[in-house]
Structure 1
């Protein structure tokens, strides 16, 4: 493979890995929501429900990004529009992932909070790295 194609391929691989990791969070959080006992404090179940919602959105945004990366045209207006979509969706996904962890700020420390937070931080790192590779690829192409 020519070196000139590597940045685009790396970006697609990174987005694909981010998608694979992000897809694991909604079912995990949903399972926790059903299994955990929280007592009278509604903050943890509310944070879990919110996390499920925003992560479902993040998965869709990362999926859209991966599809768009697979359909990139050659340089020009179409390319600029397509990569702009990818950058926007990946940034939105990262924001949604951040919203999940923010939702636990007021939740008292407990195993559920720690488990979800640790897992989401890992996914945020993958998404952040993928976005950085997309941005690097775009910078090389424009």
Structure 2
């Protein structure tokens, strides 16, 4: 009887293994997790390509979401930096771009710390786990504030134009992806 149970267990392992790593299961996990975020369609779109590495791991999902946010923040920081070199900028536009660059730089730094903290926190439990997660949440929240603050200098009608619109679109995207990442970090923390 023990031998037949062992054989049955061994035969079922490949099925269990395939089920856990199937692309459909990973994709469904991402979709279900993203439904708890503020921007679910963007969440799914930004994370779908990473389904093979995420599989069904809340931790890997949170880590990937933070990494995506960091990559987009870096891209936006580089874009804003290029805008500073645009000819014909008004003084106020230049100053707003400069301020935005500083805010994006701080946001990139904080997101980078969040990614590293989540990657290196190990399998901590109890208070140790909560301390690490608190750090991640604090830095990701501060990055979200930095991203939102980046655009404050462009307020007012005198600042309307293509530069403002271009920067705004990118900053909003980064802020939304960061908001989603923070939500997924919170989901991960609540399951521990």
Common topology (TM > 0.5): yes
Match of 2:121 in 1: 72
Report the 3-state secondary structure (helix = DSSP H, G, I; strand = E; otherwise coil) of the residue aligned with 1:24.
helix
Q: Which has the higher Rg, Structure 1 or Structure 2? A: 2
The secondary structure found in structure 2 opposite 1:38 is coil
- CA RMSD after TM alignment: 1.7
CA distance in structure 2 between the aligned counterparts of 1:23 and 1:44, rounded to whole angstroms: 21
**One of 51, 63, 67 as aligned partner of 1:16:** 67
Does 1 or 2 have the higher relative contact order (CA < 8 Å, sep 6+)? Answer: 1
Partner SS for 1:77: helix
Moved over 3 A (4+): none
| Structure 2 residue aligned with 1:139 | 190
How far residue 38 of structure 1 moved from its aligned partner, in angstroms, is 2.1
Q: TM-score normalized by structure 2?
A: 0.68
Comparing 99-108 and 61-70, the one that deviates more: 99-108
Give the paired residue count: 138
Query: What is the Cα deviation at residue 62 of structure 1?
Result: 0.3
TM-score with structure 1 setting the length: 0.91
What secondary structure, in the 3-state scheme, does the structure 2 residue paired with 1:34 have? coil
For 2:162 and 2:87, the matched residues in 1 are separated by 10
Is 2:132 the counterpart of 1:86?
no
User: How far apart are the structure 2 equivalents of 1:139 and 1:124?
Assistant: 23
Q: Deviations over 1:91-141 (max 9, x none)?
A: 000000000112211352110000000111011111010000001111111
Residue 173 of structure 2 is aligned to residue 113 of structure 1: no
Structure 2 residues without counterparts, runs of 5 or longer? 1-19, 22-28, 30-55
Deviation for aligned residue 1:28: 1.1
Match of residue 47, structure 1, among 91, 96, 101: 96
1:37 & 1:116 partners in 2: Cα distance?
16
1:37 is paired with a residue whose SS is coil
Task: Give the corresponding residue for 2:111.
Answer: 62
